[in-house]
Amino acid sequence: DHSMGLCVGLGAMFVTGVCNNPFMLLSRQMGLLLKLINEDRCELINEQGHHSDRQLDVSVEKHFNLALDRLAEWREAEKEDLSLGVKMEDIHSELLEETKTPFSEEEERLLDFHYSNLEYACGDTLDKISAKHWDHNDSFPQFSGSHALIAGGFQAVLDRLAQ
């Protein structure tokens, strides 16, 4: 759908981690269509509705993961907390300076995807999340395994429950 001026996917819901996830059981009991996602081949789609360059995405994801590694090193040594957004931008700038390679507009958009995905996982914007404690729940059991797509989205689950 392009009605809002951007490419927006409609009608699907991701289930993060299918092992022991009650949404998977509920969806199967309701007979809803489920599709496991191949995490090695989950392509990003840009604003024009085209697949993003796979090699560029892999490169940006490595940069993002390196930034998370640097964040882990920083928080071991630092006593004062910052917002995750501020610290990730600082680390991003440091990495660009070290490599002396600026990011293109496309690379910045791909990095924004990874930031958005992190916001989704944390439940808030990066400027409102602690850089020292953003992953505090990692020590608790979480849903593991592949991710899945429920065709028809969460509305399909609600409609079936309403019946």
**What's the one-letter identity of residue 17?**
G
Q: CA-CA distance, 47 to 20, in Å (whole number)?
A: 34
Question: What's residue 26's pLDDT?
Answer: 87
Query: What three-state secondary structure class fits 96?
Result: helix
pLDDT of residue 36: 84
Determine the Cα–Cα distance for residues 123 and 128; give it in Å rounded to an integer: 10
At residue 82, the pLDDT reads: 95
Give the span between the Cα atoms of 34 and 37, in whole angstroms.
Answer: 10
- Answer yes or no: are the C-beta atoms of 106 and 54 closer than 8 Å: no
pLDDT given for residue 44 in this prediction = 81
pLDDT of residue 1: 54
% of residues, the chain, pLDDT over 70: 87
Query: Which two three-digit tokens encode residue 11?
Result: 């009608």
What does the buried/exposed string (b/e) look like for 120-142 if buried means 16 or more CB atoms within 10 Å of the residue's CB? eebeeebeebebbebbeeeeeee
Q: Looking at residue 152, what is its pLDDT? A: 77
**Tell me, what's the pLDDT at 119?**
93
Residues of the chain with pLDDT under 70: 1-12, 39-42, 139-141
Model pLDDT, residue 11? 58
For 1, the token pair is 């759908």
**Residue 57: predicted pLDDT:** 92
